[in-house]
Structure 1
Amino acid sequence: MGQTRDIRASDRDVRLLTLRELELRGSSPDAVRREIGARRLVRVRRGHFAASAEWDAQFVEGRQRARSRAYAAMSPSTVFAFETAASHHALPLFRVKEERLHTVCTGRAASSTRNVLRHRTLLPESDIVVIDGIRVSSLSRTVSDMIRKLPFEAGVALADAALGAAERTRRGGAEELRGLVAERLARASGGRGVRKARVVIAFADERSGSPGESASRWLLRVIGFRSFELQVPFTGPDGQRWFVDLGFDGNLGEFDGAVKYTDPAFLDGRTSHEALLDEKERGDWIRGHSGAPFVRWMDAHIKTPETLRARLEQFGIRP
């Protein structure tokens, strides 16, 4: 499957500025160096820059895309893979700190550098797609590569997101992608990370709402919970349709990312305080009408299985 995405990655990317563009704005090379020294400008790659405020606001995915766009401007035939390809497919790199570019090469002479990791591997043309002008490994190839490499919870987060995007593109897309990834893993039987990847792609679920939810679900499995229901529906007092992230072994749980109370897209005109009160009212209603234990957790609670277990035990919830 090719470039399956529900949102264009480039819509939220930093703007790259070339040295020529900066010169046309009246900035001499010396002035550019001063801007970099004053931390108002960041050198993304040689000859390409970005405003520090925009750069600092980016997660690893955005920085991967920016660096690869700058690299491709100088070497347009380059094919990117692994973390870099995942970023262009708008897949989450959950707790991944890798900011080196990942490229594919077939020549023996090519070597990696501090900023570019070159993978000597065969990538047929059928496994290459173009996203926003950048050549990257296809979605199914990228997913299979990454879930072999990543820790379980990060792999589940990436696979969930890929299946979700595929399903939103067309009905049945999630299972089609799952099948393509499974076929790739079957052909790679015995290879490094294949056994882990098979577990991940079988466990992945397109209904997950965020990387934090995905990681939570995996950690719950590690703790010992076995029955999962995603996006459990409830009807609110005024007919609202509410969905709880997870049902697990008769319990209800939600991952509360800080973005829910800070991102304007989630706030929808409300203040953070109003959003918090709305969530409390929603939680009280669901708790009262479901009859099930209902617990919320945040990023600090999903660092390890032990931290999530401790959070659940505060509410008397055990496998």
Structure 2
Amino acid sequence: MTELPRLILTREHIQHGLTAKELARRCRSGALVRLRQGVYVDGGVWRALTPWDQYRVRVGAAAETFVARTIFARHSAASVWRIPTIGLRHPIHALTLQNDGGRSRAGVLRHYAPPAGLKCVRREGILVTGRIRTVLDLAAFTPFAEAVVPVDHVLKPDTEQRLPALTKELLLAGIEGNYTAAAARRVRAAVEFADPRSGSAGESYSRALMWVAGFQAPELQAEFRDDSGLVGYTDYYWDRVRVAGEFDGTEKYVKPEYLKGRTVSQTVVDEKERENRVRALGNGMVRWVWADLMAAGQLERKLAAAGVPRRRARSAQ
């Protein structure tokens, strides 16, 4: 888990030996980055963070500037829970318990939530909606393909944070009384589609985009063996047309749990060898990366070119 940088607060600037002019000068030079009025962070550390860690830091900066008790929700709560979401430029999401339309300003969107039955927890010094409510809110208020990502994630144990897996039954039980009928239908669709076998956020998003585009559901984590033994597992496999699919995220080339003591170059060589052995068994292979998922229609075009079949209409089944 990435260690987040310490926030530098204007109200504490005397403790850091910084005057207002010095803060402004350091911002101009890039030594500091201003996150919100009165909140700064070391510029070099900030630029080294991933976009999702930068967003988590912005949530913390917002928490430092609010005087009233604030419950963060949706993408903001997910960032504190380390639940993956899709997109890089989300606003800060917080709840209001007064049904007066709320106030959304300064990069913060406030959403009304009835206080009855609302559960929140304090994590890393920040009040956030509970893990179940956070995932359900994302399923209710984001597009289906994006909603599948956090739901897939919580169906597996989070070993890094020592959080248990949630069940679909637990998630579905959290719908009652919290959502409109339309929002409840969106939640059920995402939960019913979710699958804990998905290995990463990119794999989850890919699978959901495939479904939205009308492709047949693939087998996940398909096992391949040849005369030499176990070849490995592919992210997706369409047995009828003998096509394997692989999402190439950066994780397998940078994270220790994927590298398993290998160098990056050796990992690339091993991946190529694995693909060659899968192909030698008479299978086709199609690969894609994050850029393909972000470009409208690009994944659909790649899958179609590889011969991945579409779902048939019910009347043709």
One of 89, 95, 99 as aligned partner of 1:97: 89
Identity percentage of aligned residues: 31
Q: Specify the alignment match of 1:185 in structure 2.
A: 175
Report the 3-state secondary structure (helix = DSSP H, G, I; strand = E; otherwise coil) of the residue aligned with 1:254. strand
Is contact 2:77–2:134 with CA below 8 Å preserved after alignment?
yes
CA–CA separation in structure 1 for the residues paired with 2:112 and 2:118:
17
The offset of 1:89, in angstroms, is 1.3
- Counterpart check, 1:79 vs 2:71: yes
CA–CA separation in structure 2 for the residues paired with 1:25 and 1:170:
37
Change (3 A) 1:237 1:58: farther
Q: Which moved more, 1:100-109 or 1:212-221?
A: 100-109
- Counterpart check, 1:308 vs 2:299: yes
Q: Which moved more, 1:276-285 or 1:214-223?
A: 214-223
Between the two proteins, the alignment pairs up a number of residues equal to 305
Q: Specify the alignment match of 2:283 in structure 1.
A: 292
Higher relative contact order (CA 8 A, sep 6+): 1
CA–CA separation in structure 1 for the residues paired with 2:57 and 2:158:
24
- 1:11-160 matches, cutoff 5 A: 11-19=2-10, 23-74=14-65, 75=67, 77-98=69-90, 100-107=91-98, 108=100, 111-124=103-116, 127-160=119-152
Q: Specify the alignment match of 1:220 in structure 2.
A: 210
Segments of 5+ residues of structure 1 without an aligned counterpart are 1-7
Report the 3-state secondary structure (helix = DSSP H, G, I; strand = E; otherwise coil) of the residue aligned with 2:303. helix
The offset of 1:255, in angstroms, is 0.2
CA–CA separation in structure 2 for the residues paired with 1:109 and 1:144:
21
Segments of 5+ residues of structure 2 without an aligned counterpart are 311-317
Report the 3-state secondary structure (helix = DSSP H, G, I; strand = E; otherwise coil) of the residue aligned with 1:224. coil
Q: Which moved more, 1:121-130 or 1:151-160?
A: 121-130
The offset of 1:292, in angstroms, is 3.1
Which protein has the bigger helix share?
A: 1
The one-letter amino acid paired with 2:197 is R
Q: Which moved more, 1:307-316 or 1:127-136?
A: 307-316
Report the 3-state secondary structure (helix = DSSP H, G, I; strand = E; otherwise coil) of the residue aligned with 1:27. coil
Q: Specify the alignment match of 1:210 in structure 2.
A: 200
CA–CA separation in structure 2 for the residues paired with 1:268 and 1:142:
33
Q: Report the TM-score when normalising by structure 2.
A: 0.82
Q: Specify the alignment match of 2:189 in structure 1.
A: 199
The one-letter amino acid paired with 1:242 is G
